[in-house]
Structure 1
Amino acid sequence: MKLASIHKVLLGSVAFGTFWMLAVFPAVPFLPIGRTAGSLLGAMLMIIFHVISPAQAYDSIDLPILGLLFGTMVVSIYLERANMFMHLGRLLSWKSRGGKDLLCRVCLVSAFASALFTNDTTCIVLTEFVLKLARQHNLPAKPFLLALASSANIGSSATPIGNPQNLVIAVESKISFLKFFFHIAPAMLIGVVVNIVIILCMFWKDLSGKSKEDRIEEGVVEDEDVISHKFSPARMSHMSPPPEELTAMHGAPDMQWCLTEEELILKVSVYVVAIGMLVALLMGLDMSWTAITAALALMVIDFRDAGPCLDKVSYTLLIFFCGMFITVDGFNRTGIPSAFWNFMEPYARINHTSGVIVLSLVILLLSNLGSNVPTVLLLGGQVASSAAAISPGAETRSWLILAWVSTVAGNFTLLGSAANLIVCEQAHRSQTHGYNLSFWEHIVFGVPSTIIVTAISLPLIKEY
């Protein structure tokens, strides 16, 4: 695509820049409207400036991605109602040998969960839980929040349903679920281990908690409070919700399950449906409709008003993605991304090691300038077309490299991944265990972790 007219390029850049600024700094003094409103503002400016038409804006919204996110969030809500957190709390705390052991468990659990239920959903579900766990052991929240976000991002790379950009890649490339998994799983496993080592090295002295007796004397949260944790939806806002909203989010009495035979049947059904969803995905069925079908099946099996569960879905996150899709498509129509790729393409061919390095650097840069999903939307087709000229195997490898690097690149800065933003917002919003994870606190860890994990694991993604 050639560069558009000068006024379209300038106005499109202004709209995209507005979106980017509010995504990084949602509470800027002159426009403290938050990330969700910021994404809608960017989309609206694209239309007002005639960079994109209203019809094109609607067409740019990727419904399969929104459907997958919605479905997995609903399934996660029902899994929480089936006491998933109680079992998870026991798993993380069982015979724990201190902060270092606990951090390793958080990394492994979040990586595994993200591969199955997306990194965004994992971070939505686990952030406040991890805050409680850290406080229970009298440990600082920062290493655990960084461990959760970074491991969730790395773990999500292993499957097409692990994150939104992987879903885009799976749909566009038509790579099957199993093929995608077997190609990226080795890099993911090595990446998780390397990331754990980096976190332990950076926070070794901080990961030593006090004895249980000392924690009780200081009023630190106890086991029962951790395992009784309730799911609360992500709010893509820099403001904390009012107390009455917190009460609703953490569950009113009518949301609790009674200890009856009917409850046991329902709980078993929840796990059976969740496993069935994974089996269907492995069979190659449509990922979005599989997740939505599983969500609706759980609502029917529950046999009660689904409103309270649906209220917990993070609609602000879904709206954020809608605005982002429109903004990115508008920016793509300015021709700037295409011009950039045309300049870099001769140096980024994956049949040479230097080309793979250049391509990875380009993906890393763009993923942190405009997030990883927009990067895949902007570059995916062009990168694949360039690789297809080499061989069909090279085309498949280019998609997998794009999936791996764009996912790991999410750990570079807070803006690199929506999962990072979710952890940041959820932690800041918590009324009882809140922690403000700043942009700079994250980048001190994110830069070395991203570079080292990418460099060590990238050679494992080969052409088969």
Structure 2
Amino acid sequence: MAMASTDRVILGSIAFAIFWILAVFPAVPFMPIGRTAGSLLGANLMVIFRVLAPDEAYAAIDLPILGLLFGTMVVSIYLERADMFKYLGKLLAWKSRGPKDLLCRICLIAAISSAFFTNDTSCVILTEFVLKIARQQNLPPHPFLLALASSANIGSSATPIGNPQNLVIAVLSKISFGRFLFGVFPAMLVGVVVNAVLLLCMYWKSLSVQKDVENAEIELVSDEEVDSHRFSPATMSHVNSLHSQEQFSADSMNTSNQNQDNFNENEIKTDANGVFDSCRNSNASMEAANDGSLQMRDKNVTSKGILSVDGCLNMSWTAITAALALVVLDFKDARECLEKVSYSLLIFFCGMFITVDGFNRTGIPSAFWDFMEPYAKIDHAGGIAVLAVVILVLSNLASNVPTVLLLGARVGASAATISAASEKKAWLILAWVSTVAGNLSLLGSAANLIVCEQAHRAQPSGYNLSLWTHLRFGVPSTLIVTAIGLTLIRD
């Protein structure tokens, strides 16, 4: 894709930078408007600056992904009604040998559930519950929250349905489910183990002393409260913890005897800055992949691109169908459940889809790949390392689905000149690195932001998982897990 005009590149970069800052620091002093408003501001600036036309901005919104999020939220609400958390709590507590054992179990459950139900869905459902488990045992929450987010990302890499970028890769490359699983599973399994070991090494002292020093004044969670846990959808609220506690104190007095059946509007609602990580716009981003720079592969990428949209649509309608089936089988007015859906989260994604698409249209990500492509051949270790670095950078800068759509055809074609086996391996490397890249920074994936925001807004006492806390673990974990996994990817 050719670079846009200088003014569009500059203005588009400014709009994207504003969005990025507000997504990572939603309460910055100069503009404390929060993530949802920040994403809409970034999208609006893309249109005002004429980086995108209004019709192009609307086309950038990925309705299949919005449908997938909506459906999984509704399903999650009905799962908690079936006492799923009660049984999950028993599983985590069964013959438990202490905090370190609990952390390893959370890593395993997050990885397995993400491989078959997507990483974002797992984090939406499990974040508050994991936080309550830590409170129940008077343990510091951050190792367990990091374990949930990072293991969910790594685990989702093993299957085409673990996350949207894998689905796109499976469709574009025509790799079967079994072949995909066989190729990535060894890397995923070792990656989860290595990630857990790194967590244990970094937080060994914290997990050895059963006391949460950071939150010593916070009331512990009872066994009954954990067993009766209720799922809370997430909002993109940026309200600080002091203000949120003031709001929650009055509500908690009214709801403490109702077993959390009536949800407060301010309850945790999940951020999904990541679904932008997850499956950005399979329509608009595809236009970048099908640009003039890919003339030799235009028809091929376009036809496969339509398939990828269909794949997301099928996934989306499957989730919506499951949600509606539960609504009908419940045989009650569904208004209460539907009110728990985080509509602010869906709005956030709309703005994010537009903003990221505008940034891709500046041509910066494509120009970066054009410069690095000659050095990213996978027929030698150095080339694989360069390719991995390119994917890591672009996935954290422009999100991983747009990166997959931008690089997929070109990486595959470049590897195909070596051999058919190399082409398959290149696609699997793209799937592995673009997924694990989500662990690098707080903005790296939707799963990270979902965990961060939900934990921050949790009742009765939230927990702030800071950018530094995540980076301190995320950077070494991502680099080590990615490097080890690359040696285990099978073609």
Q: TM-score, normalised by structure 1?
A: 0.86
Contact 1:20 1:370 in 2 (8 A): no
Contact 1:177 1:284 in 2 (8 A): no
- Aligned to 2:14, the other structure's residue is in SS state helix
Letter matched to residue 490 of structure 2? K
Report the counterpart of residue 111 of structure 1 in structure 2: 111
Letter matched to residue 120 of structure 2? D
Letter matched to residue 450 of structure 1? T
Cα distance in structure 2, aligned partners of 1:382 and 1:220: 53
Q: CA deviation at 1:430?
A: 1.8
Cα distance in structure 2, aligned partners of 1:5 and 1:56: 17
Report the counterpart of residue 270 of structure 2 in structure 1: none
Q: Structure 1's 410 and 285: CA in aligned 2 closer, same or farther, altered over 3 A?
A: closer
Report the counterpart of residue 406 of structure 1 in structure 2: 434
Contact 2:230 2:260 in 1 (8 A): no
Q: Structure 1's 460 and 245: CA in aligned 2 closer, same or farther, altered over 3 A?
A: farther
C-alpha offsets along residues 251-272 of structure 1, whole Å, 9 cap, x if unaligned?
A: 967959xxxxxxxxxxxxxxxx
Report the counterpart of residue 272 of structure 1 in structure 2: none
Q: Structure 1's 238 and 395: CA in aligned 2 closer, same or farther, altered over 3 A?
A: farther
Cα distance in structure 1, aligned partners of 2:404 and 2:78: 31
Q: CA deviation at 1:250?
A: 9.4
Cα distance in structure 1, aligned partners of 2:347 and 2:68: 14
From 355, 373, 392, the equivalent of 1:345 is 373
Report the counterpart of residue 204 of structure 2 in structure 1: 204
Contact 2:230 2:261 in 1 (8 A): no
Report the counterpart of residue 147 of structure 2 in structure 1: 147
- Aligned to 1:415, the other structure's residue is in SS state coil
Superposition pairs of residues 375-386 of structure 1, within 5 angstroms: 375-386=403-414
Report the counterpart of residue 10 of structure 1 in structure 2: 10
Contact 1:135 1:433 in 2 (8 A): no
Contact 2:12 2:46 in 1 (8 A): yes
Percent identity between matched residues is: 71
- Aligned to 1:181, the other structure's residue is in SS state helix
Cα distance in structure 2, aligned partners of 1:71 and 1:380: 28
Moved more, 72-81 or 237-246: 237-246
Q: CA deviation at 1:365?
A: 1.6
Report the counterpart of residue 41 of structure 2 in structure 1: 41
Letter matched to residue 360 of structure 1? A
Contact 2:65 2:312 in 1 (8 A): no
From 294, 311, 329, the equivalent of 2:339 is 311
Cα distance in structure 2, aligned partners of 1:41 and 1:388: 42
Q: Structure 1's 12 and 416: CA in aligned 2 closer, same or farther, altered over 3 A?
A: same
Cα distance in structure 2, aligned partners of 1:73 and 1:251: 25
Q: Structure 1's 136 and 446: CA in aligned 2 closer, same or farther, altered over 3 A?
A: same
Cα distance in structure 2, aligned partners of 1:47 and 1:358: 34
Report the counterpart of residue 215 of structure 1 in structure 2: none
Q: CA deviation at 1:143?
A: 0.8
Cα distance in structure 1, aligned partners of 2:257 and 2:316: 28
Cα distance in structure 1, aligned partners of 2:395 and 2:253: 36
Cα distance in structure 2, aligned partners of 1:246 and 1:377: 46
Q: CA deviation at 1:222?
A: 2.5
Superposition pairs of residues 158-173 of structure 1, within 5 angstroms: 158-173=158-173
Letter matched to residue 325 of structure 1? F
From 423, 430, 433, the equivalent of 1:395 is 423
Report the counterpart of residue 322 of structure 1 in structure 2: 350
Q: Structure 1's 219 and 60: CA in aligned 2 closer, same or farther, altered over 3 A?
A: closer
From 345, 368, 372, the equivalent of 2:396 is 368
Give the gaps of 5 or more residues in structure 1.
Answer: 212-217, 257-282
How many equivalent pairs are there? 431
- Aligned to 2:374, the other structure's residue is in SS state helix
From 446, 460, 467, the equivalent of 1:432 is 460
Letter matched to residue 47 of structure 2? I
Contact 2:228 2:259 in 1 (8 A): no
Q: CA deviation at 1:388?
A: 4.1
Report the counterpart of residue 127 of structure 2 in structure 1: 127
C-alpha offsets along residues 156-194 of structure 1, whole Å, 9 cap, x if unaligned?
A: 112233223323334444444333323222211111111
Q: CA deviation at 1:67?
A: 2.4
Q: Structure 1's 143 and 193: CA in aligned 2 closer, same or farther, altered over 3 A?
A: same
Q: CA deviation at 1:285?
A: 9.9
Moved more, 197-206 or 304-313: 304-313
Letter matched to residue 41 of structure 2? L
Contact 2:184 2:490 in 1 (8 A): no
Give the gaps of 5 or more residues in structure 2.
Answer: 212-217, 263-310
Superposition pairs of residues 181-260 of structure 1, within 5 angstroms: 181-208=181-208, 210=210, 220-239=220-239, 242-243=247-248, 255=261
Q: Considering only aligned residues, what root-mean-square deviation do their CA atoms show, in Å?
A: 2.7
Report the counterpart of residue 98 of structure 1 in structure 2: 98
Contact 2:159 2:181 in 1 (8 A): yes
Q: CA deviation at 1:114?
A: 1.5
Cα distance in structure 1, aligned partners of 2:333 and 2:11: 47
Report the counterpart of residue 303 of structure 2 in structure 1: none
Q: CA deviation at 1:199?
A: 0.6
- Aligned to 1:64, the other structure's residue is in SS state helix
Q: TM-score, normalised by structure 2?
A: 0.81
Cα distance in structure 1, aligned partners of 2:114 and 2:149: 10
